[in-house]
A and B are shown apart, each in its own frame.
Chain A
Amino acid sequence: GAVVSQHPSWVICKSGTSVKIECRSLDFQATTMFWYRQFPKQSLMLMATSNEGSKATYEQGVEKDKFLINHASLTLSTLTVTSAHPEDSSFYICSARLQGATDTQYFGPGTRLTVL
């Protein structure tokens, strides 16, 4: 089946630093990737939709200068949390859809970010 990887799986950083999270579709091409944020015991909140070769579409209330998304190829999207602060600590999850398909989403294993 389709596999999506995320790196790193967890990261601890100091306040003010930037953190980059990679999301890769390993065995398929994904024109669309999604980035989610999940707080403990809560649902997934969509942050942005990432389309290969174009600018990401951010959901209302998500700062695009804070959460930089780059979808450079059909298999890689990156999320950079710039100048991270403790309130950015969360579980970040990406997902990808098969190229040309509008059905199944495949999720990465998530990245747990802790900002001290």
Chain B
Amino acid sequence: GIQVEQSPPDLILQEGANSTLRCNFSDSVNNLQWFHQNPWGQLINLFYIPSGTKQNGRLSATTVATERYSLLYISSSQTTDSGVYFCAVDGRGSYIPTFGRGTSLIVHP
């Protein structure tokens, strides 16, 4: 099946800093989503982005499908951004999502 790798595995930031999270995948994809899992375990959709660029407030994401990667940008980070960020993809021909191992983000005040 499709392989999904996320980097970095852990990230510690000071409030106000910017960061870039990366998701590499091993094959063509139908779908790609970014999620944020808060400290209570709830997963929140951030972006559905199989290709192109999207922005939502301080967050933006870019997927370059031909090069098999996606980036999530967090600007002016806040303590509420802490949690784990997951990338999930559906390989071409499959509508079953595969999750990466996530990036654990801690934002200090």
Q: Is the CB of B99 within 8 A of A49?
A: no
CA distance A102 to B35 in the complex (A): 16
Expressed in whole angstroms, the minimum distance between the Cβ of A112 and any Cβ of chain B is 7
Contact of A44 among B31, B33, B44, B86 (CB under 8 A): B86
CA distance A112 to B33 in the complex (A): 24
Q: Is the CB of A104 within 8 A of B33?
A: yes
Chain A residues near B96: list those with CB within 8 A: 34, 46, 49
Q: Is the CB of B41 within 8 A of A93?
A: yes
Which chain B residues in 1-58 approach chain A with CB under 8 Å?
A: 30-31, 33, 35, 40-45, 48
Expressed in whole angstroms, the minimum distance between the Cβ of A6 and any Cβ of chain B is 10
Interface residues on A, range: 20 to 34
CB-CB nearest in chain A for B90: A102
Given known A-B contacts A106-B45, A110-B41, A43 and B97 have beta carbons under 8 A apart: no
A89-111 interface bits toward B, Cβ cutoff 8 Å, 1 = contact, 0 = none: 00101010000001111110110
Expressed in whole angstroms, the minimum distance between the Cβ of B83 and any Cβ of chain A is 12
Q: Is the CB of B31 within 8 A of A102?
A: yes
User: What is the interface of chain B, defined by CB distance below 8 A to chain A?
Assistant: 30-31, 33, 35, 40-45, 48, 86, 88, 90, 95-102, 104
Given contacts A105-B88, A106-B45, A109-B41, 11 further A-B contacts (CB under 8 A): A38-B41, A43-B99, A43-B101, A46-B97, A49-B96, A93-B41, A102-B31, A102-B95, A105-B33, A105-B97, A107-B42
30 A-B pairs whose Cβ atoms sit less than 8 Å apart in the complex: A34-B97, A41-B104, A43-B86, A43-B99, A43-B100, A44-B99, A46-B97, A46-B98, A49-B96, A91-B41, A93-B43, A95-B43, A102-B30, A102-B31, A102-B90, A102-B95, A103-B48, A104-B33, A104-B45, A104-B48, A105-B33, A105-B97, A106-B45, A107-B43, A107-B44, A107-B45, A109-B40, A109-B42, A110-B41, A110-B42
User: What is the interface of chain A, defined by CB distance below 8 A to chain B?
Assistant: 32, 34, 38, 41-44, 46, 49, 91, 93, 95, 102-107, 109-110, 112
